[in-house]
Amino acid sequence: MSNKDLQVLRNEIDAIDVKLLELLSERGKLAQEIGKVKQVSGVKRFDPVREREVLDKIAENNEGPFDTPTMKHVFKTIFKACLDLQEADERKTLLVSRKAKSQNTVVDVKGVKFGNGEQNFIMGPCAVESIEQVRAVASAMKEQGIKLMRGGAFKPRTSPYDFQGLGVEGLEILRTVADEYDLAVISEIVNPADVEVALEYVDVIQVGARNMQNFELLKAVGKVNKPVLLKRGLSATIDEFVHAAEYIIAQGNDQIILCERGIRTYEKATRNTLDISAVPILKKETHLPVVVDVTHSTGRKDLLLPTAKAALAIGADAVMAEVHPDPAVALSDSAQQMDIPQFNEFINELKEFKNKLA
């Protein structure tokens, strides 16, 4: 065979490849259409009975030179690619996804913006215990120019015998002190029935890690006109986390801030394992701002500063940490809250670090 013959044959193959590509693309588009029909009717994407029928037809029509197992193998690869297309389409339709909206959602909390490139701090006590306690923290925050104060009024604790929070009285304290110091307030709500009352007191409603898949709560906060900070569940995958946010946005509220707070792993050196890579993944996959809670992820005061630096370096929109005027007597999370001098040192170091990053 001359070089010329080889070239002629290869030209024919090239032409066939172009046709195959066209046909496969056409097949892919039909699979996408089928995917949409399945999504609307709630039918599973994977249909082994249908795949078996297609394979039987391939076997029936196969005249060689490829043997039937080889052709079946090729078609199984095509089925898989078609299924992947259907799945990618479903992801694309998520309202929280970058594909649905390419620009960042910017959540504005009393002038503090999340998602516009600023890197903020959310600080405050684990639980609201008294007005004096909250005032001491608020005054230190004000001096540092930090506007967003967290504080738990409803505390979902592991043990029912631990301090459960002051409830609405706690929200009242937070609001009173926040107004005195011109701060904004973020507090957790655990019961859908309390969302309405919380609107009067808080600037951001927090949905805690233990409630990340409390779908009725997610729907309830999705119906109100108030920013929501959604924490990642203790054992939630990123995909489950994103779908939890979708529950909120699907009801109309797109003012959502995601919060990575560590996940449960076999590692015992920290309270949870901070999944730092979740930050860029969430920022890539969704258009929502992402903050990192260094207190609950580490459970260790000595790790607050290095993990906060990691969070800022990796692009988190804010760092969240707990501060208490006298952590030794705190009613919850006593070991991991900073006192006021430690808080000042923490913030000063991070401000310097932010300047270095800029």
Ligand X SMILES: C=C(O[C@@H]1C=C(C(=O)O)C=C[C@H]1O)C(=O)O
Q: Which residues bind ligand X (CB under 6 A)?
A: 31, 34, 46-47, 50-51, 54, 78-79, 82-83
DSSP state of 291: E
Judged by CB, which is closer to ligand X: 47, or 285? 47
Q: How far is CA 281 from CA 124, 158, 275, 290, 316, in A?
A: 27, 29, 10, 10, 11
Judged by CB, which is closer to ligand X: 79, or 181? 79
CB 33 to ligand X: min, Å:
9
My answer on whether omega of the bond before 325 falls inside 30° of 0, hence cis, is no
CB 50 to ligand X: min, Å:
4
- The 3-state DSSP class for residue 284 equals helix
Judged by CB, which is closer to ligand X: 45, or 175? 45
Judged by CB, which is closer to ligand X: 35, or 151? 35
CA atoms within 13 A on the CB side of 256: 33
d(CA 115, CA 279): 12
CB 87 to ligand X: min, Å:
10
Judged by CB, which is closer to ligand X: 45, or 219? 45
d(CA 58, CA 233): 46
Q: Please say whether the beta carbons of 229 and 259 come within 8 A.
A: yes
CB 54 to ligand X: min, Å:
5
Judged by CB, which is closer to ligand X: 18, or 81? 81
CB 263 to ligand X: min, Å:
32
Q: Please say whether the beta carbons of 289 and 302 come within 8 A.
A: no
Judged by CB, which is closer to ligand X: 10, or 29? 29
Residue with tokens 């684990």: 126
**Six-digit token string for 33:** 């259409």
Q: Which residue is at the shortest CB distance from ligand X?
A: 82
CB 18 to ligand X: min, Å:
21
CB 25 to ligand X: min, Å:
13
Q: How far is CA 246 from CA 216, 252, 287, in A?
A: 13, 10, 12
Closest Cα to residue 119, out of 349, 260, 290, 287? Answer: 290
Contacts of 133 (CB under 8 A, 6+ apart): 125, 324, 325
d(CA 308, CA 279): 12
Contacts of 215 (CB under 8 A, 6+ apart): 247
CB 47 to ligand X: min, Å:
4
Judged by CB, which is closer to ligand X: 55, or 131? 55
